Amino acid sequence: MIFLDHNATTPMDGRVIAAMEPFLGKFFGNPSSLYRLGRISRSAIDTARGQVAALAGTDPARVVFTSGGTEANNLAIKGMAGKLPMGTIAIGATEHPSVLAPAEHLRKQGWNVRTLAVDSNGVLLRQNLQALPWADLRFASVMLANNETGVIQEVSAFAEHIRSQGAYLHCDAVQATGKIPLVFDSLGAHLLSFSSHKIHGPKGAGALVIDKSIDVEPLLEGGGQESNLRSGTENVAAIVGFGKACELALAELESRATHCLTLRQQLESGLAHMRGVTVFAENAPRLSNTVQFGLNGIDGEALVMLLDRKGFAVSSGSACASGAGEPSPVLLAMGVDADTAKSAIRVSLGKDNSETDIIAFLVALQTILRI
Amino acid sequence: MKTLYFDTAATTAIAPEVLARMLELLGGECAYANPSSAAHLPGQAAAAVVASARVEIAAELGCEADEVVFTSGATEANNLALRGIALAHAAQGRHLVTSVIEHKSVLACCAALQREGYEVTYLSPNSAGWVEPDAVARALRPDTLLVSLQHTNNETGIMQPIAEVAELAAQAGVLLHVDAAQAVGKFAINLQKIPIDLLSLSAHKFHGPKGVGCLVVRNRRQLRMQPLMHGGGQEFGLRPGTLATHQIVGLSAALSLAAARRATDLAHVGELKRRFLQQLGCLPMQVHGEMARSSPYIVNFSIAGIGSDALINQLRSDLAIASGSACSSGAVEPSYVLRAMGIEGEPLYGAVRLSFSRDHSLAEVSAAVERIGAAVSRMKELEISEVK
């Protein structure tokens, strides 16, 4: 099986597993316990916090560990809403379901939710900004890189405008993590979400970076762990793995990005020779590992299944929504017509893919098309 | 000298059999995919692993597989149960009943709900450490949505009269949530025999991994609940987020192992506790809570004239024990659980908790007693024993 679905999840890095193993074994203490075994766990979490902060380009004190990206996004959006007077929030049109769904929940509670439109390349429109000011804008949520198309948004340009309204900005950096350089302190967002399993770390860990200027209400109440922002016994081994994955992602950021870009270009030049190919968001700045494309007249989900039988794991869109048979909301937001959107498949590359994988994939695609 | 770990109520070591299953998945070739990636084989393999874990857990607890909602642990399960019911049923009522000796994840969630306009009745335990079913019955009102009562107290090990409370809640048509974090795995819980509507559990309390638990939601299809988080729609829409396959497998493997060993473990741990109390009996000590109702896994006691902080400090490198729950052990506050049982003064400030596991030997228990005895003698000599 050749795995080309790294935006859904990534295989664990052996070095990450090795870092986790002691904390799945002999160092099993509860970090809240005062004796040595507890302090070992506490100190391992502190180390991981530093590793995450280094990748995020911020101070370790800003990092709050969660169970993953979905929880981080929910904590950001519901957490801000809980502390702010009801008003308007602005959400990017192509956000992940874990941002859209909490925003929709707020709408039901009476919040005014406005969508920030994107152009045909999936890039947030500058006109959105000109439409500001909205007198009661409380916060906005804009992703750094899209999970389906890989489109990278110019978050800092938005940040400036949002801040000048006296509002806050959350940025979902789950797909951008480890793929593009990141400096929280100069990005301009107040909140930044991360997930471990998208960067060869374990599932079940993530983080929300929270600027000290903002007050967030917790989702989970209890023992007061994570500075009272996220109660519950810390998932020490997963946090350690997440930290290690961040350290490796930072150290290898350039080499991974260059490697993926070479493969993506190889893939895209192969696709260019096929008839009826549309590469979505082709002209936008994109993550070096992501290509979403469609073949005219071919259903994306059917193609994904045919490729699966030939030993290739790709996706028709986000894993969370896959199997629904609906055209991608991301592509619809870009103005792609429903039929073309239904043809979409997403190839997302990883550091362990090779040129041979791409050749094999292109051959398989050709074979399917000829049948 | 190796530190002896007697704080299994705070957390336990992952059983080797469980760890082996987890490592297979962490490093494995087949099931690392996202279980929600339904369109390809690796995703289906991961989904199948999650599905069979769900079936195993359901079989052990006597519920349906689709009533098991995976969470990041018991804190999240408790929050989901209370908030999920309270918000979804606010139109019928805004009253909840719980006890003052619940875990902080229940108490803090109740406090947050109170700030949002809900009313909470907090029942006190009797001096034996348990909440009397009559007190629960008296607290019920027409607008009561939910009773939340723990199965086994994390500090004293006292088991609450869940069966009686479940019957009376069912008769009154009020939902019952049970925080069974200190009970699942250790004791048989059959949800077919006892009408509990919502049950929280956490894997790391019974030799599974940290970071995973579940909320069992009986009659989930009929029961309206609001999720804490919104997103990709995983876990029947009650708990979105990519499922952590290796952790879920860790939970089911730990539960199956605990079930298979239950009789043996209970007998063993019972003997450990009996011997511990017998041997420590040479010191002037007092055990808190009613022995007949206490879990063999936990003992909470005070030694006359010895403060708990000083004792724990003396034992720091010899014996890992706690003065209360790990969540609050950073604070020097005396136990709110013991205080609610009417324990004050010296016994309150002297209370420490030892908790046992299947991995302890009788020799280790004797060594623990010796170390406590030696620490007490040292403290008496140094006169650092006085209670605050």
CA A152 to chain centroid? 11
pLDDT exceeds 90 at position B330: no
Distance from CA of A215 to the nearest CA of B (A): 16
Q: What is the pLDDT of residue B142?
A: 97
Q: Is A260 a catalytic residue?
A: no
With contacts defined as CB-CB under 8 Å, which chain A residues touch B43? 5, 8, 313, 319, 322
B94-117: per-residue pLDDT in tens? 999 999 999 999 999 999 999 999
Tell me the domains of chain A and their CATH numbers: 2-9+253-370 (3.90.1150.10), 14-251 (3.40.640.10)
Q: Tokens 């008296």 label which residue?
A: B138
Nearest residue of B to residue A319, measured between CA atoms: B37
pLDDT exceeds 90 at position B327: no
Contact B170, B137 (CB under 8 A): no
How far, in Å, CA of B10 to CA of B33, rounded? 32
Query: How many CB atoms are closer than 10 A to CB A204?
Result: 30
Q: What is the pLDDT of residue B96?
A: 98
Question: Which two structure tokens, joined as six digits, stand for A214?
Answer: 């903002």
pLDDT exceeds 90 at position A15: yes
Question: Which two structure tokens, joined as six digits, stand for B286?
Answer: 């007092």
Q: What is the pLDDT of residue A131?
A: 73
Q: What is the pLDDT of residue B190?
A: 98
Q: Looking at chain A, which runs of residues are DSSP E strands? A: 2-3, 63-66, 88-92, 112-116, 137-143, 168-172, 191-195, 206-210, 277-279, 290-295, 312-313, 344-348
For an interface test with B, give the residue of A233, A236, A244, A315 to mutate (most B CBs within 10 A).
A233
How far, in Å, CA of B19 to CA of B24, rounded? 9
Q: What is the pLDDT of residue B326?
A: 55
Q: Which of A14, A36, A238 sits opposite B211 (nearest CB)?
A: A238
pLDDT exceeds 80 at position B329: no
Contact A183, A154 (CB under 8 A): no
CA distances from B365 to B6, B147, B270, B357, B360 (A): 9, 38, 12, 11, 7
Query: How many CB atoms are closer than 10 A to CB A233?
Result: 28
Half-sphere exposure of B216 (CA within 13 A, CB side): 30
What integer best gives the mean pLDDT of chain B? 94
Q: What is the pLDDT of residue A137?
A: 94
Q: State whether ipTM is beyond 0.90.
A: yes
CB contact under 8 A, A32 and B202: no
CB contacts < 8 A (A, B)? 266
Q: Which of A235, A313, A323 sits opposite B211 (nearest CB)?
A: A235
State the pLDDT confidence band at A322, using cuts at 50, 70 and 90: very low
Rounded to 5°, angle at Cα A120 from A118 and A125:
30
Q: Which of A67, A202, A312 sits opposite B241 (nearest CB)?
A: A67
How far, in Å, CA of A122 to CA of A335, rounded? 9
Q: What is the pLDDT of residue B388?
A: 46
CB contact under 8 A, B329 and A32: yes
With contacts defined as CB-CB under 8 Å, which chain B residues touch A318? 232
Q: Taking residues B190-199, what's their average pLDDT?
A: 98
Tell me the domains of chain B and their CATH numbers: 16-260 (3.40.640.10), 261-387 (3.90.1150.10)
Q: What is the pLDDT of residue A185?
A: 86
Asked if the peptide bond before residue A202 counts as cis, ω within 30 degrees of 0, the response is no
Q: What is the pLDDT of residue A320?
A: 52
Alpha-carbon radius of gyration of chain A: 21
A220-268: per-residue pLDDT in tens? 999 999 999 999 999 999 999 999 999 999 999 999 999 999 999 999 9
Q: What is the pLDDT of residue B39?
A: 87
Question: Which two structure tokens, joined as six digits, stand for A130?
Answer: 């000109």
CB contact under 8 A, A233 and B11: yes
State the pLDDT confidence band at B267, using cuts at 50, 70 and 90: very high
Distance from CA of A28 to the nearest CA of B (A): 5
